[in-house]
Amino acid sequence: MKINSIRFKTTVLGTCILGGILMLFSIYLVHSSRQILYKEEEEELLVKAQEIANFIDAYARISQEDKSPKMLIYQLLWGKSLTDKKIVDQLWREDSKVLGLQNDFYRIRDLNGSVIFRSDNLIADAERSFDAQFARFGNSTHFSSMKINGVPCYGISYPVKFSHLNELNLQLAMPIIYIHRVLYKLVVAVISGVVVVLLISIFLGTYLTRRVLKPVEEVTRAANRITQKDLNMRISVRELDKEMEELVASFNHMIERMEQSFTHVNEFSSHVAHELKTPLAIIKNELELALNAGNSKQEDERVMAVTLKEVDRLIKIIKDLLLLAKLEYKLNIFKMEDMDLTDFLKDIYRHCKVLAEEKNISLELIISERPIRIQGDAIHLRRVFFNLVHNAVKFTLPNGHIKMISEIRGQQVVVSVQDTGIGIAPADKARIFEKFYRIRRAEDEDTGGNGLGLCMARAIARTHGGDITFQSEINQGSTFSVILPILPD
């Protein structure tokens, strides 16, 4: 698995996230366990301190000879003058066993701070630990951690009152080695569990990532197999996750569009070659005739005239192709500006009227006199309307009639060019806007042109945010409508 692969990065990311979550949970678990264990230790210490306080208070009630705390404690544990000493000793031994004081460290101090009793295991170093931990809290209940004789302990400072007359301070500490052992074992178990879970997650993450990215690998292999000559390959979308299904579907749609584009390019190249071949062949033949000796001046002039005409035709085809390429790739070739469509159509009408009169066709302009403001490129829009009127004149017989009509429909203006010409056959309607497609008036009669006019006109209209539509009936005429958005008032 490569370091810069999605599989590696996804696995590492998932493992890091899971590791972070497990680490936080482990810290919380260990901390909570420690708090619980120490809380239980505090409760146990408090119970022991209360039992010792109760025992001292009970003994004080029995004894009436001396009320001093020191003497009471002495009589309690070593004295021989009390008749109830044996009973008290028996009670103390039983309570000591029940409370588990054998391994604990404890001492009792009076209000002056003098130690009046200590356990046998409480040596001088241990007492210094008691002094360091409990001295600053006075005679109040307080819990504290410490070390006694190198053993970790947890202790309590507890005030003891007896006979409502005297007050002592009990300081008791319990070894907590078992708490440290429990926490140590818990930390080891948690770390081991986290490591095991992370290893399992790495394995499962690698496996699942491989399964998830399998369609991507199929797309890659398919893309490597696809060539210009083999664009019909598709990837099956069965048994895929929804996201992968969308990816594969998008890839298949892209290949389908590529196939259509290559088909279009091939057809376009074929049309271009055909369109350029004819004028070049004519130029070649005429130049070969001109090279023959004995040509008259009139013949040479004719050859040059024909050649010039064909060269102009080639130039026009090339210019139209360049313009179409720019329109299709949406290059910034338009200079949009606010313009009055009413005055613009009047200017188109004046120029096209001469063209219609040469064929004895009447041209009529029906527009509103109020200004119609649009955003457009006057040069390219002129090409659109000249092309539509020129086609109407070309396919209308002498004595025919052509109308230019503009009307506002909502936020759009529709400029229609109606003629009484030969119309468009049903077979031609579907291809009327294709590049290089030309309509013939009769079976073998070519109408001229290069078949790019309507294609360019629609491309220009769509670039302006509009479109071109048409209606036509054979031998009844045609209506081409240019739809353009108007500017708000």
**pLDDT tens digits, 378-408:** 888 988 999 899 989 988 989 999 999 999 9
On whether residue 406 sits in a domain, the answer given is: yes
H or E element, residue 220? helix 214-225
On whether residue 53 sits in a domain, the answer given is: yes
Contact 136, 68 (CB under 8 A): no
Same structural domain, 299 and 361? no
pLDDT beyond 50 at 445: no
CB atoms within 10 A of CB 78: 10
Q: How confident is the model at residue 478 (pLDDT cuts 50, 70, 90)?
A: very high
What pLDDT score does 456 carry?
83
On whether residue 17 sits in a domain, the answer given is: yes
Q: DSSP states of 287-349 as a string?
A: HHHHHSTT--HHHHHHHHHHHHHHHHHHHHHHHHHHHHHHHHTT-S----EEEEHHHHHHHHH
What pLDDT score does 443 carry?
42
Same structural domain, 309 and 355? no
Of 298, 328, 358, the last residue of a domain is: 328
Q: In what order do the strands lie in the sheet with 151-162?
A: 115-118, 105-109, 166-175, 151-162, 142-148
C-beta contacts of 328-337 below 8 A and 24+ residues apart: 328/459, 330/463, 334/377, 334/380, 334/463, 334/464, 335/377, 335/379, 336/375, 336/376, 336/377, 337/375, 337/376, 337/377, 337/378
Q: What rounded mean pLDDT belongs to the chain?
A: 79
pLDDT beyond 80 at 40: yes
Same structural domain, 144 and 268? no
Cα R_g (the chain), whole angstroms: 53
- Which of 275, 464, 294, 489 minimizes the C-alpha distance to 375? 464
pLDDT beyond 70 at 146: yes
Same structural domain, 99 and 246? no
pLDDT beyond 70 at 307: yes
Mean pLDDT of the 434-440 span: 71
What pLDDT score does 88 carry?
52
**pLDDT tens digits, 2-34:** 666 777 778 888 888 888 899 999 999 999 999
Same structural domain, 256 and 170? no
Q: DSSP states of 107-120 as a string?
A: EEE-TTS-EEEE-T
C-beta contacts of 112-117 below 8 A and 24+ residues apart: 114/70, 116/69, 116/70, 116/73, 116/74, 116/168, 117/73, 117/77
In this structure, what DSSP letter does residue 80 have?
S
What pLDDT score does 188 carry?
93
Number of domains in the chain: 3
Lowest mean pLDDT among 169-173, 204-208, 370-374: 204-208
Q: Which two tokens stand for residue 90?
A: 């028996």
Same structural domain, 133 and 256? no
Same structural domain, 163 and 261? no
- Which of 173, 170, 147 minimizes the C-alpha distance to 157? 170
- Angle among Cα 284, 285, 290 to the nearest 5 degrees reads 95
Of 284, 300, 328, the last residue of a domain is: 328
Same structural domain, 71 and 171? yes
On whether residue 190 sits in a domain, the answer given is: no
On whether residue 215 sits in a domain, the answer given is: no
| Contact residues for 457 (Cβ-Cβ < 8 A; gap 6+) | 383, 384, 387, 388, 468, 482
Any idea what the CATH number is for the domain that residue 439 is in?
3.30.565.10
Q: How confident is the model at residue 444 (pLDDT cuts 50, 70, 90)?
A: very low
Write the CA distances from 456 to 200, 328, 345, integer angstroms: 63, 10, 19
On whether residue 47 sits in a domain, the answer given is: yes
**pLDDT tens digits, 78-89:** 444 444 555 555
Write down the H helix ranges in 367-451.
378-394, 426-429
Range of the domain at 47: 6-183
Any idea what the CATH number is for the domain that residue 279 is in?
1.10.287.130
What pLDDT score does 81 carry?
44
Interatomic CA distance for residues 252 and 234, integer angstroms: 6
Mean pLDDT of the 421-431 span: 86
What pLDDT score does 267 carry?
64
Any idea what the CATH number is for the domain that residue 160 is in?
3.30.450.20
Lowest mean pLDDT among 282-296, 328-342, 441-455: 441-455
Greater confidence (263 vs 456) lies with 456
**pLDDT tens digits, 190-223:** 999 999 998 888 888 888 887 777 777 777 777 7
What pLDDT score does 140 carry?
76
Greater confidence (107 vs 296) lies with 107
**pLDDT tens digits, 127-140:** 888 888 887 766 77
Same structural domain, 288 and 345? no
Same structural domain, 276 and 374? no
Mean pLDDT of the 434-451 span: 59
What pLDDT score does 260 carry?
73
On whether residue 341 sits in a domain, the answer given is: yes
Same structural domain, 395 and 313? no
What percentage of residues in the chain have a pLDDT greater than 70? 76
Same structural domain, 409 and 460? yes
pLDDT beyond 70 at 228: no
pLDDT beyond 90 at 481: yes
On whether residue 379 sits in a domain, the answer given is: yes
